[in-house]
Amino acid sequence: MQRQQQLMALLFICMPFAEVGASPASASASWRLSVTTEQGETLVDRQAPAGSRWCIEWKHSVKHFTVLDCYRNVAGVMQLERSHQPDFAAGLGHVFGRGEQVSDGQGGYWINAINEPVANNRYLLRVGSPAVNHQVVWPDGEHPSVSLSEQAAGQRVVIQLIDNS
């Protein structure tokens, strides 16, 4: 628990404070972050107005350290904004030309400024076991984290940004 609090504090401290300008139409839209199972069960349903941020956090299955992929609603477009990895483990690492790798000051690194739109504002995730503990976290702490692994381990879920206006 203490490690998670340290990572969230680091995430908040390192997070850029500049907001991307949103048009009046997109700013007033009623955006929501939704995570649902293929059977239609809702696991997460939270307001996500333009500028809001959230992360998918999990434990690496081999190295057992915490990884974060962080997203932002940029005027109605879900974007992968940044990623945090404490190691260059299998399947992780920086791809040249995709964001900027910077030290986190604790032996790991952030890949900032990825700013990659997520196709159709949605993607599928195969949720890991409770040991992996895929969860949705909010870096500003406005919502409690939601463990997807506790609710849907081994299942595919749809993570999406929905316009409810």
Per residue in 20-63, pLDDT (tens digit) is 343 444 445 689 999 999 999 999 999 999 999 999 999 987 77
Q: Locate 132 and state its tokens.
A: 């992996």
Per residue in 84-124, pLDDT (tens digit) is 987 665 554 545 566 788 888 887 888 899 999 999 999 99
Q: Strand, coil or helix: what is 13? A: helix
pTM value?
A: 0.77
Give pairs for 43-50: CB < 8 Å, separation 24+. Answer: 43/146, 43/148, 43/151, 43/152, 43/157, 44/136, 44/146, 44/148, 46/138, 46/143, 48/73, 48/161, 49/73, 50/20, 50/22, 50/26, 50/74, 50/75, 50/76
pLDDT of 43 reads 98
Nearest to 105 by CA among 39, 10, 15, 33: 10
Residue 80: which H helix or E strand, with range? Answer: strand 77-85
